[in-house]
Amino acid sequence: MFRPLTHLAMIQPANPVLSVERACVSYGSAQALNCLSLELYEGELLGLLGPNGAGKSTLVRCIGGQQELTSGQINFDSQVNSIGSVPQEIALYEDLSVTDNLKVFGRLHAVRGRELRERIEAALQWSGLYDKRRKMVRTLSGGMQRRLNIACSVLHRPSVLLLDEPTVGVDPQSRELIYEMLDQLLQLGTSILLTTHHLDEAQHRCDHIAIIDSGKIVDSGTFEELVSRTIGDGQQMHIRFSQPPQRVPAPLSLVAGGLEAWGPVGDVARDMPRLLSRLNIERAQVESVSLISPTLHNVFLHLTGRELRE
């Protein structure tokens, strides 16, 4: 079930396996989701990024059936047999062993007998937890618990897997192991939607990225598409100020409460001295200046005007 496969270029099919159409969730006058639309395709890893309170977890709960929409639709392709869901909080039985947790979750999904035993064996190997199979869950590290949580969620072989912050609070080695697990699922055709606060992970791991803010998708696409549509493909000028300036010259934009500015630089030798001269005229108190290649962090700041941690 979980053997590694050689990576094949994914051809996006005509029809999505999951389609969210104009989804709204309201709590009185507050809207957690505001006419949000989203599509997920077979064998795709879609990263959902957004500030705290943007609506990421609400969307995952609605897709997973734990919460109802106020209005809108969530549709699955007819070929989708089931979904798996891994919440942000560890959802395991601490006083049971690794193997017993797998048994419980397998039986909850009507997997039994020889088939369950074979799937548990495969899951233990796939998750790297075979040597820990008799250990109580409470004795495992956070990274191991995360991997077990994912293994428990796919024993029934779901077509769609939902992951809410699967790498939060884990060490770099465990994070890499988790993505190795996900890579193998993708090769088997599983479609994965995950939320993450790790912009570097989303940039380098996700096939497509959707950025959500105030309950809406503000932009989505591949990393390259997002860069091209927002900040351009050239280098970015990053400036830190000791105090927020009153204004900055175009194409710079103030972020981080006015203490930082970002902007594209087409011709470094021409544009950089001109911008610094303009800032000097404005008496801006420049603390540092740097040039970097475009990153998802730049895209996120451009679209939301704030850091992901805010």
* Mean pLDDT to the nearest integer, 194-207: 92
Write down the pLDDT at residue 306: 65
Please give the mean pLDDT across all residues of the chain: 89
Write down the pLDDT at residue 34: 95
* Mean pLDDT to the nearest integer, 2-20: 59
pLDDT confidence of 14, banded at 50, 70, 90?
Answer: low
- Long-range residue pairs from 289-292, CB within 8 A, at least 24 positions apart, any chain: 289/237, 289/238, 289/239, 289/240, 290/237, 290/238, 291/235, 291/236, 291/237, 291/238, 291/265, 292/235, 292/236, 292/238
Least confident of 4-8, 169-173, 220-224, 296-300: 4-8
CATH numbers and ranges of domains, the chain: 13-81+159-231 (3.40.50.300), 98-154 (no CATH), 234-293 (no CATH)
* Mean pLDDT to the nearest integer, 73-83: 90
Write down the pLDDT at residue 308: 56
* Mean pLDDT to the nearest integer, 108-125: 96
Least confident of 63-72, 153-162, 164-173, 300-309: 300-309
Write down the pLDDT at residue 307: 59
Whether the pLDDT of residue 158 is over 90: the answer is: yes
Write down the pLDDT at residue 186: 96
* Mean pLDDT to the nearest integer, 39-49: 96
Whether the pLDDT of residue 171 is over 60: the answer is: yes
Distance from C-alpha of 69 to C-alpha of 222, rounded to nearest angstrom: 28
Distance from C-alpha of 121 to C-alpha of 166, rounded to nearest angstrom: 22
Whether the pLDDT of residue 2 is over 50: the answer is: no
Sheet holding 45-49, edge to edge: 83-86, 160-164, 191-195, 45-49, 208-213, 216-221
Whether the pLDDT of residue 241 is over 60: the answer is: yes
Distance from C-alpha of 143 to C-alpha of 72, rounded to nearest angstrom: 36
Whether the pLDDT of residue 3 is over 70: the answer is: no
Q: What is the pLDDT of residues 118-148, one digit of tens each?
A: 999 999 999 999 999 999 999 999 999 999 9
- Long-range residue pairs from 252-255, CB within 8 A, at least 24 positions apart, any chain: 253/302, 255/301, 255/305, 255/306, 255/307
pLDDT confidence of 9, banded at 50, 70, 90?
Answer: very low
